[in-house]
Amino acid sequence: MPTYQYACTACGHQLEAVQSFADEPLTECPACEGRLRKLFSSVGVVFKGSGFYRTDSRSATSDTPKKDSAPAKESAPAKETSTSTAKTEAAPAAS
């Protein structure tokens, strides 16, 4: 069963109550009979198993950048070749 935290809006008294999901929330402060409200806080999360660390499954991801970088190198010389032909065409027109 979950533990809920409550705080009184009138006096600031805080308390914890272990309640079932089916139970109605507490509404009355036991100290001053003021109005209670639920407090919400962050919870701790623990990831167990493989795949949650930076070093897990690195062999599969390290192969893909090598494959991507090879075609980029091939396309770069093709661009240089087209610019060199443009220079040779410009040279005879100028003379």
Contact 60, 50 (CB under 8 A): no
Threshold 0.85, pTM exceeds: no
What local confidence, expressed as pLDDT, does residue 19 receive? 94
Beta carbons within 8 Å of 35's beta carbon, 6+ residues apart: 8, 9, 10, 27, 28, 29
Per-residue pLDDT reduced to its tens digit, 46-62: 887 777 777 666 555 45
Q: Which two tokens stand for residue 14?
A: 């805080």
Query: Has residue 81 got a pLDDT over 90?
Result: no
Q: Which two tokens stand for residue 91?
A: 């040279």
